[in-house]
């Protein structure tokens, strides 16, 4: 069990842990500690005078509809009466330490945390108001002395692409990601003695400068990484061949700090060639940074961890049918649903997700292939449309992108469409408002498929960009342009 210092750190870093209580702050800049005539509470003038502990006790005492909430615009201000029980369960017997920490945390600071969290989410989202060109990084399989990471540009009016510059010096940078502003890029080095590296992105020309020498993951073949953002950011890494997952602290300049977690998965499943042992294929943090979801292809599990100050604490497991082989996983922007691409049985899975309890339940498995296809195929990547109405998956073998419409009420998948990717072995792709960019590993090209934002339908590629063994595409924030420093950067 986490100690009180770790719990306090976790609360301060992730105020969404008490999201149901703090939701009132989205409607009220001021709250109260004074009893009202009907057992409710009245407004208080200074947000800085009220602590999170005060607000917690209001609802713990059963005042579930404060009397300053009135009118139709406050119809959703009711809060579940089981909040104290839920929070006590979350904090595992350390309620007193948590309440003491809450008493030191003024609501003004909590509101600032929430504002920063929401701002970060907005910066990460893909804007529909992008300029005429879009910049993106490509990771690939390459020897250390060869170019492995590419900065590219897409002309949105024509679909033409070009390479702006190349970066060498890292073996097999097959997966890359970056921070919300696009100023720091992180890459795996997929090899037996796995490594990760961080780079500074020059806002003037997009060139990369390594921040620190590579850091060992103590796992084999790291294939996926993700950032847990917030006040205390961490880099999360999945190592495929050894089944390890780990976390690294990030220094103030974005360079990799100490390793804070290293866990090895154990187990196997029914496919003797591919599931002889655990294979952590991806690691994805929840939007609020409380949880991380690891797709283990070797054990047919989505393993859920709590993120506690860089520690990975096992929280739960969602089991999939034997031989599924979960590969990549995404959480819907609504936080109500999640979806996964399964490599070994040609399916996409829809899940319901409880963001408070951290529970994930599979509700639907659908084929990623058309009924008449009989060839060999291995599903790979998965992404949402910017508006969250559609989800896309790539098929290696059928060499297509499948598009599903998401039922906004149930989360179920419907109305599939398939589009050729204009190449072979689409390992990874990125969805923009009006394009889908596909990394075709075997044919060595990036294809630009047109996308209809309203229907979500794709049109086969007209333009293609030659890059050796591309394996990952990461579009930069919409406001990033070579020669233009993104807003808010140093």
* Separation between Cα atoms, residue 445 and residue 465, nearest integer Å: 5
Confidence of residue 102 (pLDDT cuts 50, 70, 90): low
Co-location of 31 and 137 in the same domain: no
Average pLDDT of the residues in 417-427: 98
DSSP SS3 for 391: strand
Confidence of residue 205 (pLDDT cuts 50, 70, 90): confident
* CA distances to 149, 374, 385, 417 from 414, in Å: 36, 22, 15, 10
Co-location of 318 and 441 in the same domain: yes
**pLDDT given for residue 24 in this prediction:** 42
Average pLDDT of the residues in 136-143: 98
Average pLDDT of the residues in 98-123: 59
* Separation between Cα atoms, residue 473 and residue 284, nearest integer Å: 16
Rg value, the chain, Cα: 23
Structural domains of the chain, count: 2
- Whether 350 and 413 have beta carbons less than 8 Å apart is answered as yes
Co-location of 277 and 419 in the same domain: yes
Domain annotation covers residue 314:
yes
Domain annotation covers residue 485:
no
Domain annotation covers residue 484:
no
Query: Of 123, 144, 170, which residue sits at a domain end?
Result: 123
Q: Which of 189-193, 352-356, 428-432 is predicted least confidently?
A: 352-356
Domain annotation covers residue 234:
yes
- Read off the pLDDT of residues 21-40 as tens digits, 9 standing for 90 and up: 444 444 443 334 344 433 34
* Separation between Cα atoms, residue 130 and residue 298, nearest integer Å: 40
DSSP SS3 for 417: strand
Q: Which of 13-22, 202-211, 330-339, 378-387 is predicted least confidently?
A: 13-22
- Whether 203 and 278 have beta carbons less than 8 Å apart is answered as no
Co-location of 134 and 118 in the same domain: no
- Read off the pLDDT of residues 438-482 as tens digits, 9 standing for 90 and up: 999 999 999 999 999 999 999 999 899 999 999 999 999 876 766
Q: Which of residues 283 and 42 earns the better pLDDT score?
A: 283
- Read off the pLDDT of residues 222-257 as tens digits, 9 standing for 90 and up: 999 999 987 789 999 999 999 999 999 999 899 999
- Read off the pLDDT of residues 50-67 as tens digits, 9 standing for 90 and up: 565 655 555 454 443 444
Co-location of 340 and 423 in the same domain: yes
Co-location of 354 and 456 in the same domain: yes
* Separation between Cα atoms, residue 407 and residue 479, nearest integer Å: 31
Question: Cα–chain-centroid distance for residue 232?
Answer: 16
- Whether 461 and 446 have beta carbons less than 8 Å apart is answered as no
Average pLDDT of the residues in 379-387: 97
* Separation between Cα atoms, residue 238 and residue 175, nearest integer Å: 11
Co-location of 181 and 111 in the same domain: no
Domain annotation covers residue 487:
no
Co-location of 237 and 100 in the same domain: no
Domain annotation covers residue 482:
no
Co-location of 17 and 81 in the same domain: yes
- Whether 402 and 392 have beta carbons less than 8 Å apart is answered as yes
Q: Which of 125-129, 284-288, 457-461 is predicted least confidently?
A: 125-129
Domain annotation covers residue 75:
yes
Query: Of 63, 92, 123, which residue sits at a domain end?
Result: 123
Confidence of residue 277 (pLDDT cuts 50, 70, 90): very high
Co-location of 323 and 394 in the same domain: yes
For 282-343, the DSSP string reads EEEE-TTSSEEEEEETTTTEEEEEEEETTEEEEEEEEE--TT--EEEEEE-TTSSEEEEEET
Least Cα distance to 432 among 19, 113, 70, 127 occurs for: 127
Domain annotation covers residue 11:
yes
* Separation between Cα atoms, residue 154 and residue 135, nearest integer Å: 6
CATH number at residue 454: 2.130.10.10
**pLDDT given for residue 203 in this prediction:** 86
Q: Which runs of E-coded beta strand occur in 59-160?
A: 133-140, 149-155
User: What's the pTM?
Assistant: 0.77
- Domain enclosing residue 310, as ranges: 130-475
Co-location of 339 and 463 in the same domain: yes
Query: Of 106, 123, 140, which residue sits at a domain end?
Result: 123
**pLDDT given for residue 97 in this prediction:** 55
- Whether 465 and 171 have beta carbons less than 8 Å apart is answered as no
State yes or no: pLDDT of 79 exceeds 90: no
Average pLDDT of the residues in 171-195: 94
* Separation between Cα atoms, residue 210 and residue 6, nearest integer Å: 31
Backbone angles phi, psi at 58, to 5 degrees: -55, -50
Q: Which of 48-62, 69-83, 232-246, 418-432 is predicted least confidently?
A: 69-83
Backbone angles phi, psi at 108, to 5 degrees: -60, -40
Co-location of 398 and 261 in the same domain: yes
**pLDDT given for residue 229 in this prediction:** 83
Q: Which of 8-17, 324-333, 351-360, 370-379 is predicted least confidently?
A: 8-17
């Amino acid at each position: 069990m986490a100690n009180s210092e770790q719990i306090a750190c976790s609360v301060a870093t992730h105020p969404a842990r008490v999201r149901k209580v703090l939701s009132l702050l989205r409607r009220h800049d001021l709250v109260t500690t004074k009893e009202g005539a009907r057992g409710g509470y009245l407004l208080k003038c200074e947000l800085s005078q009220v602590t999170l502990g005060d607000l917690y006790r209001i609802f713990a005492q059963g005042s579930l509809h404060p009397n300053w909430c009135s009118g139709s615009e406050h119809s959703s201000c009711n809060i579940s009466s089981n909040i104290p029980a839920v929070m006590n369960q979350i904090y595992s017997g350390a309620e007193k330490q948590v309440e003491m920490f809450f008493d030191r945390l003024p609501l003004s600071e909590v509101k600032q945390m929430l504002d920063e969290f929401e701002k970060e989410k907005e910066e990460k989202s893909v804007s529909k108001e992008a300029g005429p060109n879009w910049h993106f990084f490509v990771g690939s399989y390459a020897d250390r002395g060869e170019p492995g990471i590419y900065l590219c540009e897409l002309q949105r009016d024509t679909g033409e692409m070009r390479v702006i510059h190349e970066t060498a010096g890292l073996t097999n940078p097959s997966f890359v990601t970056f921070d919300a502003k696009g100023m720091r890029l992180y890459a795996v080095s997929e090899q037996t003695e796995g490594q990760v590296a961080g780079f500074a992105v020059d806002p003037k020309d997009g060139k990369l400068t390594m921040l620190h020498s590579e850091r060992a993951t103590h796992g084999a073949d790291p294939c996926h990484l993700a950032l847990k953002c917030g006040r205390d950011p961490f880099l999360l890494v999945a190592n495929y061949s050894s089944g390890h997952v780990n976390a690294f602290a990030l220094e103030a300049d974005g360079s990799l700090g100490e390793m804070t977690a290293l866990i090895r998965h154990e187990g196997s499943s029914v496919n003797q060639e591919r599931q002889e042992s655990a294979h952590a294929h991806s690691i994805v943090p929840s939007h609020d940074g409380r949880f991380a979801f690891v797709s283990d292809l070797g054990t047919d599990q989505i393993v859920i961890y709590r993120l506690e100050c860089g520690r990975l604490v096992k929280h739960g497991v969602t089991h999939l049918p034997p031989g599924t082989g979960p590969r990549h996983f995404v959480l819907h922007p609504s936080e109500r649903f999640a979806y996964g691409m399964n490599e070994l049985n040609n399916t996409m899975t829809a899940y319901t997700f409880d963001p408070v309890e951290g529970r994930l339940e599979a509700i639907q498995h659908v084929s990623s292939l058309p009924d008449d296809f009989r060839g060999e195929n291995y599903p790979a990547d998965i992404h949402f449309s910017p508006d969250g109405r559609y989800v896309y998956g790539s098929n290696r073998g059928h060499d297509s992108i499948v598009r599903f419409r998401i039922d906004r009420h149930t989360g179920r998948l419907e109305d599939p469409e398939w589009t050729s990717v204009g190449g072979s072995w689409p390992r990874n792709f990125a969805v923009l408002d009006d394009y889908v960019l596909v990394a075709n590993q075997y044919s060595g090209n990036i294809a630009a498929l047109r996308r209809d934002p309203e229907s979500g339908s794709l049109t086969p590629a007209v333009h293609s960009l030659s890059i050796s063994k591309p394996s990952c595409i990461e579009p930069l924030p919409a406001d990033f342009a070579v020669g233009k420093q993104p807003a808010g950067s140093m």
